[in-house]
Structure 1
Amino acid sequence: MMTLLSWLLGALALLVLLPVLVLLIQVLLACLPARPAPMLKGARPRVAVLVPAHNEASVIASALATIRPQLVEGDRLLVVADNCSDDTAVLARAAGAEVIERQDAHLRGKGYALDYGVRHLAEDPPQVVLIIDADCQVSTGAIERLAHCCVESGRPVQSLYLMHAPAGAGLKVQVAEFAWRVKNLVRPRGWTRAGLPCQLMGAGMAFSWQDVTAANLATGHLVEDIKLGLELCRDGKPPLFCPAAQVTSQFPTSQEGLSSQRKRWEHGHLGLVLAEGPGLIGRALKQGNWPLLAMTIDLLVPPLALLSLAMMVVFVLAWSAFLLLGVLTPALIATANLALLGTAVLLAWWRFSRELIPFSVLLYAPFYAAKKIPLYLGFLLKRQVEWVRSKRDDN
């Protein structure tokens, strides 16, 4: 009985250890000196910037104001006002964008809006399609760099997409900002230093016209961006990370907005892992598709909060078994998990976040993780499967 218990707890501790090791390796690789961004050569490819927008009247003009100055003659700026009940379309036209409107009460979600926009662009196709969310700010020069990188590499390209805590935001939002930086900056930078692809992040993405028209965009999947990146990698087009191009957005400050956003992202991520993770690993190994294997391994690393909760549960169980029954090996593995995860988090904060996020925010992180327990229980009991837009602060 004790042998069986030791084996089960040890297996559980090792299961948690694997994503911790992947995270630590990514952080260590990310800390290596960054390679300089390549020089841009030749004329910029002709681009179309596609902006899906659902009731984004409060932010659409600001987003378009960061895009339009970067466009040149022959480029297009297309806003898809998708199932809107506000003035998104009117404000986008006033800001100088080409606007098409879509109404479909049944097929809801960003993927359907993107598909609608791409089919409209087919009347006069560009070389490169850039997808920018309607609440994002695009850094100067980002569009040119993404377009060049896409054409020169022959691959989809993902910009550095960061989300910031609004001024005066509480500890919860600051922890979320740090976790987002780890996910969207540290981890893809680490994989890139090893010559591996990154996940698509939903905004700041560039595709050749051939790739975007071949992709299956018309889906209501909760994390359609991650799913699309995996499908492209499966087909020999692994996404390339381009941190020299940056887009930014802000977290909602309302509790309702934060909760709906987290639920959509994390339920979608976990659902994708369970539904397709094992199959993707098998396919990658069978085909010798190492970029797909690397992307799948990255996908299997859960959100930091969930990883921390899982580690703490295993730690308590393993040491309880040691104190009651003398089973030592699982407790040692669980302790190693704790040390390795702590090392990865502290190193990521020191190298990439300490100028923006005070150390005190990290001390709040365990409480932040504990408050997300209902979200993860909700995944087991009543998983979200339909796309729902995150509520903005003013609507």
Structure 2
Amino acid sequence: MVTNQPLFLLIQIILLAIALALLIPIATLLIECMAAFFLPRRDKQEKPAPRPKVTILIPAHNEASDITATLKTILPQLTDSDRLIVIADNCTDNTAEVVRQVGATAIERENPDLRGKGYALDYGLRCIETKPPDVLVFVDADCQVSPGSIDKIARLAAASERPVQATYLMTQPDNPGVNDLISTLSLRVKNLVRPVGLTRLGLPCLLMGSGMALPWSLMSKISLAGCKTVDDMQLAVDLAIAGHPPLFCQDAHVQGRLMKDKAAKSQKARWEHGHLEMLFTEVPRLLKEFISQRRWDLFALALELAVPPLSLLLLIWAAATGGAFVAAVLGVSWIPGMVLGLEGLLILISVIGSWAKFCRADIPGRTLLAVPFYILWKVSLYPAFLIKPQSRWLKTERDTVDVTES
């Protein structure tokens, strides 16, 4: 046994390092959730301001079957000075014709070599730059915008001169299975609970891709011409570093729709591969700018971005905890296992608390028991990131359902 001491010491150091590294995202998750549970709202009473002139840009790729429902939730919210423009990007269907029939403006873009949401939006911006609005609003083509939401985020963006993110959630598919329910819970933690917590701590949030409002004055500070899967996160980082960290508007609501089966896995691969790419590239950049500019909001945004997708965080924690337990049985110190056990408790508090506070009405509590099986269902997403990460914006094939209700 004595001859194994150097090896055991090395294993202990490695396991403890993993445990301490995991403590950063887990503690961040817990603090954000606790703030959402217990801290009061920090809404500022702004003086009434004139309604800014708004242009809404919607990038669309072969969305003829779904976009009418989206437009019908937006058109009643517009004033006479507002514009609603759909960029029909590399479409092979009649998206542009459907848009015009509903009463919105459609502009068509054809460039198969430069495909991506960023390129589509950049094209839209160049088409309106000679007659710019006060505030730009970005909405995805498959989203429903709740009444009054355009007004709320536009006014807040104009008053604060900062980008604003509406609450962006997903409706469940018809006849949702257990995986669909857990996906809904995970997304609600990411897109509602954590931004609410950050807002109540007085900190910025990340942008989410749809339901975003930006003052036109900020457009000179960014570039949208790109084909990353997470242009929204990149945009949030770029604007935050430039001195305009995003705000979260809990009272404005935009809803997309979760996919089923293969489409669901493709959708999640896009989101999670993009998140991991941003984690590795932009967290170091934010930390560098935090040191350079001495701005704690950038440090907070780096921590927020450093929290990996919840299922991946649980998967890493479970693997580390299992390794620590086996090592302890073989004679290595129990300290790493104890630290990891505490971290598991913190994750449990965050997830169960989020469910109880924000999800109990439409997600049965027994669904939580299936989380381990959901994680196994998603395991294949993460090796794929190392081999062939998804890096292009492509339309996810959808089931045919009625999405006309807002």
**TM-score normalised by the chain length of structure 1:** 0.97
Which residue does 1:60 correspond to in 2? Answer: 67
1:385 aligned onto 2:391: yes
Determine if the alignment matches structure 1 residue 325 to structure 2 residue 334.
Answer: no
Gaps of 5+ in 1: none
1:34 maps to 2:41: yes
Tell me the residue number matched to 1:69: 76
| 2:98 alignment partner in structure 1 | 91
Task: Give the CA deviation at 1:385.
Answer: 2.6
In structure 2, give the amino acid aligned to 1:262: K
Q: C-alpha displacement at 1:69, in angstroms?
A: 0.4
Q: How does 1:164-179 map to 2 (within 5 A)?
A: 164-179=171-186
- Counting only pairs closer than 5 Å after superposition, residues 238-387 of structure 1 correspond to structure 2 as 238-253=245-260, 255-387=261-393
CA distance in 2 between partners of 1:136 and 1:216 (Å): 24
Deviates more, 1:218-227 or 1:33-42: 33-42
Structure 2 residues without counterparts, runs of 5 or longer: 1-5, 402-406
* SS class of match (2:363): coil
Q: Deviations over 1:180-211 (max 9, x none)?
A: 00000000110111110000000000011111
Which amino acid counterpart does residue 390 of structure 1 have in structure 2? T
1:5 and 2:37 aligned: no
Which amino acid in 2 is paired with 1:146? I
- 1:271-300 CA-to-partner distances (Å, cap 9, x unmatched) read 121123223212212221221211111000
Deviations 1:34-80 (A, max 9, x none): 34574671321110011111111121000000100010111101010
SS in 2 for 1:99: strand
Deviations 1:306-360 (A, max 9, x none): 0000010011001111101141110101111111111110111111111111111
Pick from 166, 169, 173 the counterpart of residue 159 of structure 1: 166
Indicate the larger mover: 36-45 or 18-27. 36-45
Which residues of 2 match residues 129-278 of structure 1 at below 5 A?
129-253=136-260, 255-278=261-284
Name the Cα RMSD after superposition. 1.4
Give the Å deviation of 1:388. Answer: 2.5
SS of match in other structure, 1:107: coil
Task: Confirm or deny: 8 A CA contact 1:118 1:213 kept in the other structure.
Answer: no
Could you tell me whether the CA contact under 8 Å between 1:138 and 1:247 is conserved in 2? yes
Kindly report which structure 2 residues correspond to 1:98-137, keeping only aligned pairs within 5 A, or say none: 98-137=105-144
- Alignment size in residue pairs: 394
Partner of 1:18: 24
Deviation at 1:384, TM superposition (A): 2.3
Q: CA deviation at 1:387?
A: 2.8
TM-score (norm 2): 0.94
More displaced 10-residue stretch of structure 1: 263-272 or 285-294: 285-294
Paired residues of 1:256 and 1:391 also in contact (CA < 8 A): no
Q: Residues 296 and 242 from structure 1, CA distance in 2 versus in 1: closer, same or farther, beyond 3 angstroms?
A: same
